[in-house]
Structure 1
Amino acid sequence: MNRKTALLTGIAGAFLIAAPALAQDATTPQTPEPASAEAAAAQPQSLTLSPGATVKSADGSEIGKLVGVQNGAGGQELTVRTADGQVHPAPLAGIRQDGADIVINATLADVEAAAPIASPNAAQPTPDAEPAPPADAPH
């Protein structure tokens, strides 16, 4: 009787292990398709943010050239060099890509109204400046 119980237990275990694999239907897609165009638009899109790319407003007017992205007081924001040569923060609201250009929901006036960002090169010491001696160096 022990052999019969062991055999039936083994067969029942094999069915329990194989049941999920047998229950799958190979004809159904494994990734769900968006139900509508609205659902497809709500999915995140991929952006390529390359320094030097043209940043435009939603109406198509040029704001400036992309410098990069930074963490500002309100979260992440673009850094854009405007025609006057200054770098300003620009909001990420409504960001999208139009070919190689980046389009945001802000105007040139909105971007220029934000305080300019100090150039990262201005904070670096000049090459001919002497470095300060280490604090633990003898005097």
Structure 2
Amino acid sequence: MIRKTALLTGIAGAFLFAAPVLAQDAATQTEPAPAEAAPAQPQSLTLNPGATVKSADGSELGKLVGARNGANGQELTVRGADGVVRPVPVAGIRQEGSDIVVNASLSDFQSAAPIEGEAPAATPPVDSNEPTEPTDPTDPDAAAPTPDKPHA
């Protein structure tokens, strides 16, 4: 019986001796240090051509045409309200609903050089009751209709 008591007392003493060390290890494992916090998960973006591209202040830059690797790295190609396609850097890009928000301001976008090879958007026809027809500038009869001249 004395052997059992001595053995159990020795084991209990060993646990009491090791308890502070075990408690420190458990606290270190459950609470990561702020500098060792889990890395942020990469944000998932859905870049659909035609999506609205806005600046961080909420100004609409235009509609997304696509993306490319430009001279300054990756960039979006955006068709502005004037129909010209310009690059926008992807740094700081995020998505808000179906809109894409970038760090570039409206003035930054408008001052960017147009992308060569991208044709401006075709202007929609004027809404009228009469269809518009292309005219030949060398044809004198192709001038705009006048009140004394009926139009076909």
2:114 corresponds, among 103, 107, 116, to: 116
Matched residue count: 87
Return the alpha-carbon distance in structure 1 between the equivalents of residues 95 and 38 of structure 2.
Answer: 16
CA RMSD of aligned residues (A): 2.4
Matched, 1:64 2:52: no
Return the alpha-carbon distance in structure 1 between the equivalents of residues 44 and 95 of structure 2.
Answer: 9
Structure 1 portions without partners, runs of 5+: 1-33, 123-139
Matched residue type, 1:43: Q
Matched residue type, 2:93: I
- Residue aligning to 1:90: 88
2:52 touches 2:64 (CA, 8 Å); kept in 1? yes
Tell me by how many angstroms 1:41 deviates: 8.2
1:87 touches 1:119 (CA, 8 Å); kept in 2? no
Displacement over 6 Å in runs of 4+: none
2:65 touches 2:77 (CA, 8 Å); kept in 1? yes
When residues 107 and 41 of structure 1 are mapped into structure 2, their CA distance, relative to the original with a 3 A threshold, is farther
Structure 2 portions without partners, runs of 5+: 1-31, 121-152
Tell me by how many angstroms 1:67 deviates: 0.3
- Residue aligning to 1:80: 78
- Residue aligning to 2:40: 42
Alignment deviations for residues 72-114 of structure 1 (CA, whole Å, 9 cap, x no partner): 0111100000001000000111100000000000111101111
Higher Cα Rg, which structure: 2
**3-state SS of the aligned residue for 1:110?**
helix
Return the alpha-carbon distance in structure 1 between the equivalents of residues 89 and 67 of structure 2.
Answer: 10
Matched residue type, 1:106: A
2:92 touches 2:103 (CA, 8 Å); kept in 1? yes
When residues 43 and 86 of structure 1 are mapped into structure 2, their CA distance, relative to the original with a 3 A threshold, is same
TM-score, with structure 2 as normaliser: 0.52
- Residue aligning to 1:54: 52
Matched, 1:106 2:98: no
Return the alpha-carbon distance in structure 2 between the equivalents of residues 95 and 44 of structure 1.
Answer: 12
